[in-house]
Structure 1
Amino acid sequence: MVEWGLAAYYLLALIYLLLSAKRGLRDFRYTVLLVAGLPVFGLPLAIIQDFAARGEAASDEERFRELMNARAASDRIFQRVNVGREVNLLPLEEALIVNETGTRRRLLLDVLKEDMDEKMIPLLEQAMSNEDTETSHYAVTAVMEIKRKLLLDIQKYSVRYEADKTHLPTQLAYAEAIQRYLNSGFMDKRTQTGYRMTYVRLLKELLRTEAASEALYADVVRAQMALGHYDEALRYAKRFLEQYETSEDAYLVLLDVYYTLQLKEPFEETLEALKASKISVSNKGLNVIRYWSAKGA
C-alpha cells in the first residue's frame, strides 16, 4: 500500500516538475531536490513556495530584465531546433534525480551516447556536482567533448573566413560557431572578451550585406553591451530604429540601452514614441509599455 502511495506521489511530482520547467519556474533545481528528496511532504512544500514566489514583488530592474528577456531564446539569430537534444533533456533530468547509483549511471551513460550540444550544459553542470564520483566524471567528460567540438567548429570556419572574408555563408557560419561557444559559458572573462570582439566584428560586416536583419542589429547591440562598449551599443541601437522604424524590437532594444545607461529622458521619449506608433505590439511589448506606464517611467 505504501509503495503504491509513493508511486502515485512520484507520478504527481513528475507532472508538476514538467509543468514547472515549461513555464520557467525559478530555483528549478532546488525544487527538484525538494520534491525528490522529501517524499509526500516535498511536493506540497514546493507548491507553497511556488505560490509565495509568484506573490513577491520584483525590483524595477529585475522586472524590466524579465520583460526584456521574455523572448531571448527565440530572438537569437542562429536559433535552430535540435530534436535529439529536446528528446534527451528529460531522460537526463530523470537520471540526476534517481536515488539508486547504478541506475543513475546507466541512465546518464545512455543519454551521453547520443549527440550532445551546448544547450545541455546546465544539466551536465548539475551532474558534475553529483556526490557520486563516477556520475560527475561522466558529466565532466561530456562537457569537455562538447567544448572540443565547439572549438573545432570555430577553427574550421576561422580558416575558411581568412581564405575569403567576403563569402557570406562562411561569415554566417563563423558567427554562429562563436555565438554557440559564447552561449556555452565555458570561457574565462579574458577569452570571452576576445571571442566577443571577433563576434561583434563579424556582425558589423554582416550588417553591410544582404544578410542584414532586425535580429543582427539586436544581437550586435547586446554584444556591445556585454563588452561594456555603451557608446557603440547606443549608436547601433539608434541605427537599428532608423533602419526599421516599424519594428517593435528596435524600440525595445533602444529602451534597454537607455535603461542600462540610466538616461531617463531619452527612455521616456522612446517609450512615448512606441506608444504613439502604429506598430502592432506583441505581448512582450505590451507588458513593457504597461509596466513603465504604471511606474510613470
Structure 2
Amino acid sequence: MEPEAGNNRTAVTELILLGLVDTEKLQPVVFVLFLFAYLLTVGGNLSILAAILVEPTLHTPMYFFLGNLSALDIGCITVTVPAMLGRLLSHKRTISYEACLSQLFFFHLLAGMDCFLLTAMAYDRFLAICRPLTYSSRMSQMVQRMLVAVSWACAFTNALTHTVAISTLNFCGPSEVNHFYCDLPQLFQLSCSSTQLNELLLFGVGFIMAGAPLVLIITSYIHVAAAVLQIRSAEGRKKAFSTCGSHLTVVCLFYGTGIFSYMRLGSEEASDKDKGVGVFNTVINPLLNPLIYSLRNPDVQRALWRVLVGRRSLA
C-alpha cells in the first residue's frame, strides 16, 4: 500500500475492515450469531418465494412485489455477511479496493431497488383499496413488470453514479474502515481529497431515491387509511389494516435506518453507532421482513404451511 506520488491514482490498494468487535474472544460469538441470522434470513425469504410460487391464490400483484422483496432481502444480506464471516474465519481483515467498490455498488443497487419496490407496493395497495373497479387494468402483469424494470434501471443508475464518483477520490492512507462492510460515509472519512461534491451528490440523489418515494408512500397510505375507515365490515377493515400495517412496518424500518446512515455525514464520532445501524440495514431488516409478512398475513401462513408440511392448514 505504498503511496504513488505525483498522480491522481488511488494509492491504497487494500483496505482494512475493523469489523464489529475488537476482542478476539467475542469473534466466535459474532460468527455464530451472524451465520445463524444469515441462514434464517435466506431460509425465511426462500420460504416466502416458494409459498408464492406454489400457491395459486398468491399469484396476485401484491405477492408478485413481495416475492421480489424477498429476493432483494436475500441479495442484500449476501452482499455483506458471507464476506464478513469469511474474514472472521481466516482472521484476515483486509479487502481489496476493487472488491470494496464492488460491494458498495451491489449494496446500493439492492438498497435503491428496495426504495422503489416499497413504493410500487404502496401504489398497489392504493389501487386495490381506493380504485378497486379499475385495479385489474391498472395493475396488469405488463404494468407490474414495467414497474420492476424501471425500478432496476433507476437503482442501477444510482449505484453506478456513486461508485464512479467515489472512484475519482484519492485514498492515500490511513486505510482502516471502522465498519464491517464498505459504505460511502466511512470511505468519505478516509479520502485525502475533498469529498464535498460526493456528499452533495449523496444528498441530492438521496432526496430523489428516498425522499420522493417516501412522499408517494405517505400520500398513498393517507388515501388508503381514509378509504379503509369507510369500510362497513369490521373484518374487512381488520384485513386491510393488517396487510397495510405489515408494509408500513417494513417501510419505517427501512427508511428510519437509511436516513440515520446517510443524512448525518461528517460525524466521525458516531462510527460505533453506524455499525449498529449497518447491522439493521444488512441483517435485521432482511431477517424481519419475512416474519412481519408471514406473522400478520393468514394467506401467507396457509401457503407456508402447504410448502413446509405438504397440506393446507385447517383454518
| TM-score exceeds 0.5 | no
What's the TM-score once normalised by structure 1's chain length? 0.33
Q: Identify which of structures 1 and 2 has the higher relative contact order when contacts are C-alpha pairs closer than 8 Å and 6+ apart.
A: 2
Query: Radius of gyration: which is bigger?
Result: 1
State the TM-score, normalized to the length of structure 2. 0.32
